[in-house]
Every structure is written in C-alpha cells, then in structure tokens.
Chains A and B, each alone.
Chain A
C-alpha cells in the first residue's frame, strides 16, 4: 500500500511563509525560457490565472502581478528538507522530484492500522510547513501518483492524460474514444500490444503491479556535529583550548574518512543561565588539518570576550565540500614555519581584517580607475588591456596647480561611462604626461566640465 504526496506549489508556498506580505497580492512563478506560469498563489487563482498560461495573459488579468523566476534547484532542495522532516515519522520515503514523493505505508501497518491515522500523523507533521498538497493512496506507486494528481476516486476513472506515456500515444488513444484507464484496461492485453506497441503493455503491467517498481529510497544528508561537556567550568580561553582541540581531532578524522574539507566552523558555548554564544569562522580556502583549524580558532578567540563561564562546548561543520587542489608544500625542505599561500593569506586576513589584504588584477577598460580591479589575494595579475600607464595610481585624483607642471606628451581623451550617470551630459578627460617642477614625472588630466587640472598617478 503506497501514498503519494503532490506539492503543486511547494516553492511559492515556502516563499509566502518567509515573506507573508506576498499573500496579499497575486504572485506567480514563471518559467524563464517558455515565459509560462508554473505556480500560482491563491490570490492569483481567484483572478483567474492558472498554471500553463502565457505570462502576457497573466499580466493582462492582474496589473499588480508579482512575478518570480521558477528555480527548480531550490524546489528540489526544499523537497529534501520536507522529506528529512517526514523521515522522523515515515521510515520508507522515495523522492519524485521536483514536486512529489512516495510513502510506503506497509511497514507502518503495525503502528497505524487504519489509513485514517496515517493521514492524521501526516497532517500534524506537515502543519508547521503550511504547504498545499494533494495525496492519493494506491496499491502500486504509479496508481497512487496518478490518483493524487487526477484526484479521481477509482483507478478506472484515471484520465489517459495522466498516464506517464508519450503525448502522441495519448492523443492516438483519445482519437479512438479511449479516454480513461478503465477503457484501456478493457482491451485484451495481446491485442493492445499488437496495435499500440510493447511500451504500452509494459506500462499497464507496471500499473497493475505485475512488475516491481524500482524506487531508490531517501537518506538524510550528512554533516559533523559534536557536543562535549567540560569537566570543570571554563572561564578563560586557555581552559577551552584543550577540549576544542579534542573536537577538532574528531572533525579531522570525520573529514579524513570522507576526503572532504570544511570552509566554515560553528562553535557554540553553553552557559548556565545566559543564552549560548555562537562563534562562526569562515575561511577563504577550505581546510581539514586539526592543527591548522586550531590556530585559526585561537586567532579568532583572542579578540572575542568571554562573558560568562562555559559549561558545555559544541562544534558543527556543515558546508562540506570535496577536497581539492594542492595542499601544503610538502617538498620545500624541513623548514618548520612553512605554510601554503592560501593559509598565509587566511592568517593575514584574520589578523589585519578582511578588507586590508587584496590582490591586483588587470581589467579590460580605458578609464584608469576601471583598468584594474581589487581581487581575492593570490589571483594572478592578468594581461594588460592598455599601454603606456604610470606605475603608481593615486587612490583619488588630486587637484594640482598646473603652473607647477610642464606638459610633455598627449592628450589622450577618455569619455566617462555615460551609463552609470543619470544626466545625458558627455564628460571628457584629457590625460597628459607631465613633469613636476621638482623633476618627478607624473600623469595629469584636464576635466572639461569643471575646467580644472587633476593628478592621477606617478611614472617614477
């Protein structure tokens, strides 16, 4: 005995829970390429918009329509979360992405003899999610699914349209007056096979249950979480170092067995009466070596105050990713302080601050400010797109007295990007190479609009 749950508007329902104001006006999720409505909220349905409508008609029916892109990946993720939640009640679950799942009721027979109890249990479990769903019960998974989708009472009444078979076959059946599954099943199987092909016969067998359905079963995802009770109340960072290192060893072992690395750690300190304090650490590059992680934690903890004595400590690593790239420079001799570039950059950023360590990279544009970009430290410089440029660039152009300078070579005229200004005025800059009266070669520009001279760089 199988139950199929169909969530026609899973993603939109979830969005409405997170942003309740969406409920007040008609909202639809649309498919970007086909420009068709995929999911509608109750307000949109009252105005007459149905899934499958072209978006332009939807606009016509509701001027204040809210439109969001349909994101299949996000809905699949949500389906996994719902299944994880249901996993606490129903042992055997099989996903049917993007908007359905099967529950095997057989093993639940002992626990909830009548189907009514199953439904009640289901309702309680799903209540907090506030999702709209249709359910159907059938002897085989396929029957359950078709009943859930078509909402008919008996299997025989299932319209041909819900059969999982190619469209031309469906149309051929309907043009012969065979509109329901019952009518199709009435035809002797051999005759149907000879006329309509083996594929239909196999499908009918699956529906009757003569062939076993190959479903793969759902298992919740995996991440590292461990909690440790301290032998004694700790009220200083030093006291916490030892238990934390123990947890980090376990984490390294956990990651080692899965060949994974983590980019994020969540340390939670539990106090007697106050709220637990959470410390999150993020790394630019994934790492898995306990000793390395310990150093990062120490660097971080030094500048966090410890308000109250700590009774318990927990460590959680969720964002796991497969290990990649070179790790550590094992070949460079016995030097004990040596560390990889990524690790060095992590350390520098943690200590000096995220914004104070950056790389320099060439960018394809004429304007000096846009001809280069701040990038993640460690990125290569890239080839230059412009020539004849000064070695030093002032962070902000500086007004100068033109009398102190002698113009040598130019002008090179550049127009400022008009699309990032609102006026429709065209602003130009004329760049000149010039020598300061003290002798240093600099880079000046004359701005036509304000009629004044600026310095932008030095050549020396």
Chain B
C-alpha cells in the first residue's frame, strides 16, 4: 500500500466501503433518559465513547454504571486503565459479588495504549475504561479498530479537547458548576451536536 494512502488512512480521512460489515448495533442505557434519547438509545457496543471533564470526579462515572452491570452479566471483566484514584470495592459491590475488576497502572502512554489494544483484541473485556490527558489521531484510530473487533463498551475519559477530528463513536463534554452538571454532545452517531439542560450531579448507585 503506498505510503501516501497509509497517511490518509491514519488520519481517518479515508472511508473504506467493505469495512463496515453488517452488525446490529447493541447499546446500553447511559443512566439518564434525556441522554439516552440524545444518544439514540445509549452507549453503543464496540465503539469508543469520549467523555471530556474539566476536573476529575464530576459525576462522569454514574453514566457508565449500566454498561458495567451489563458486562458483568455477560461474565466479562471490567478493565480500569490508569484510573485517577482507587476504585473502592465496597462501592463496586452494586455491580455484584462475582464481578471481576482489573486495574492497570502503566507508567507511560504507549504502555497504556498497548494494554488497551491487547485487552480489546483478547475478547475478555466487557467494559474498558481508559484515562488519558489526550490521544493522537493514530492512537484513537488503532483503538477504534480494536474496539470494533471486541464486544466491549469502551470509554475514554480525558480533559477538554480542542476541535479536531477523532474516530470516536460519541464525544461528550461535561460542564459542572456548583453541584449542577450539563452535558454537551459534540459528536454522536447519526445526529448534530446538542447541549442538554442542566441537572443535579448524578450519584453512584448504592449497593
């Protein structure tokens, strides 16, 4: 394949016909009716969903709770790659006693990406959570390939990002002031960007 074409491919600017073979779209709720409706039903499986937060711990995790429960129901593991703190076992009990939560703390970006890819290709992941400052286009591209080859719900939690094309399924920016939160959907499957009304900070479900 010529190098020039390879570059185009890497930048995600090229759309290949035969690549999107027919696959019925499995999705799971995002724990909020308005958001579900905006996302066309919720989080889609085998896609990458980006959540941008100004500071950590502003109500992003409760949105992923249904996805995690779904993974556990399917007997698959939940992988936390480079989390900002320790996922606390007693609170995770709401996902069930047999659930398997595996935490990875790689010491640099490349290791984190390698790990995410290997996990997705292994088919063992029910949910993959990846925290990163920012991800390059090629990185998101390779992740997208790995995700589409897996049965996992994949979420990337980063800081606020400048407007650049990335091969994410959904891109969601969370505004948070004084205990109120507002979701701004920058990119979604089959729909224009939209900003949802403000509402109270969601809580992680009790055990």
Q: Which A residues are closer than 8 A to B by beta carbons? A: 329, 332, 335, 337-341, 344-345, 347-348, 351-353, 356-363, 368, 371-373, 377-395, 435, 438-441, 457-460
Say whether B86 faces chain A, with CB atoms less than 8 Å apart.
yes
In the bound complex, how far is the Cα of B61 from the Cα of A440, in angstroms?
A: 13
Q: Which residues of A contact B179 (CB under 8 A)?
A: 435, 439
Q: Please determine whether A389 and B97 come into contact, CB atoms closer than 8 angstroms.
A: no
Q: A361-B89, A389-B88 are in contact. Are A381 and B99 (CB under 8 A)?
A: yes
The one of A338, A384, A458 that contacts B85, using a Cβ cutoff of 8 Å: A458
Say whether B178 faces chain A, with CB atoms less than 8 Å apart.
yes
1/0 per residue B79-113: CB within 8 Å of A?
00000111111111101111111111111000100
Q: A339-B122, A341-B124, A378-B102 are in contact. Are A360 and B89 (CB under 8 A)?
A: yes
Q: Which residues of B contact A386 (CB under 8 A)?
A: 90
Q: Which residues of B contact A353 (CB under 8 A)?
A: 107
Nearest CB of A to B1, in Å: 21
Question: In the complex, what residue of chain B is closest to A372 when comparing beta carbons?
Answer: B89
Nearest CB of A to B83, in Å: 8
The one of B86, B92, B114, B206 that contacts A351, using a Cβ cutoff of 8 Å: B114
Q: A341-B124, A348-B115 are in contact. Are A384 and B207 (CB under 8 A)?
A: yes
Q: Please determine whether A360 and B58 come into contact, CB atoms closer than 8 angstroms.
A: no
Q: Which residues of A contact B206 (CB under 8 A)?
A: 387-388
Q: Which residues of B contact A344 (CB under 8 A)?
A: 118-119, 122, 124
Q: Please determine whether B123 and A335 come into contact, CB atoms closer than 8 angstroms.
A: yes
Q: How many residues of B contact A (CB 8 A)?
A: 53
In the bound complex, how far is the Cα of B97 from the Cα of A255, in angstroms?
A: 36
Q: Please determine whether B203 and A459 come into contact, CB atoms closer than 8 angstroms.
A: yes
10 pairs, CB–CB < 8 Å, chain A vs chain B: A339-B123, A351-B114, A357-B103, A359-B103, A381-B100, A390-B88, A391-B91, A393-B87, A440-B176, A457-B88
In the bound complex, how far is the Cα of B97 from the Cα of A389, in angstroms?
A: 16
Q: Please determine whether B204 and A337 come into contact, CB atoms closer than 8 angstroms.
A: no
Q: A338-B123, A458-B85 are in contact. Are A359 and B201 (CB under 8 A)?
A: no
Q: A360-B101, A387-B90, A440-B57 are in contact. Are A381 and B111 (CB under 8 A)?
A: no
In the bound complex, how far is the Cα of B93 from the Cα of A371, in angstroms?
A: 12
Interface core residue of A338, A345, A378, A438 (most chain B CB under 10 Å): A438
- Within 112-154 of B, Cβ neighbours of A (below 8 Å) are at 114-115, 118-119, 121-124, 149
The one of B77, B149, B176 that contacts A335, using a Cβ cutoff of 8 Å: B149
Q: Which residues of B contact A387 (CB under 8 A)?
A: 90, 206-207
1/0 per residue B181-207: CB within 8 Å of A?
000000000000000000001111011
Say whether B163 faces chain A, with CB atoms less than 8 Å apart.
no
The one of B86, B90, B97 that contacts A394, using a Cβ cutoff of 8 Å: B86
Q: Please determine whether A460 and B124 come into contact, CB atoms closer than 8 angstroms.
A: no
Q: Which residues of A contact B121 (CB under 8 A)?
A: 337
Q: A341-B77, A439-B178, A460-B203 are in contact. Are A392 and B86 (CB under 8 A)?
A: yes
Other than the known A440-B201, A460-B60, A460-B62, what 14 A-B pairs have Cβ atoms closer than 8 Å?
A332-B123, A337-B123, A337-B149, A357-B103, A359-B102, A360-B92, A378-B77, A384-B90, A391-B87, A391-B92, A438-B178, A439-B58, A439-B179, A460-B203
Q: Which residues of B contact A440 (CB under 8 A)?
A: 55, 57-59, 176, 201
Q: Please determine whether B90 and A458 come into contact, CB atoms closer than 8 angstroms.
A: no
The one of B97, B123, B202 that contacts A382, using a Cβ cutoff of 8 Å: B97
Q: Please determine whether B204 and A460 come into contact, CB atoms closer than 8 angstroms.
A: yes
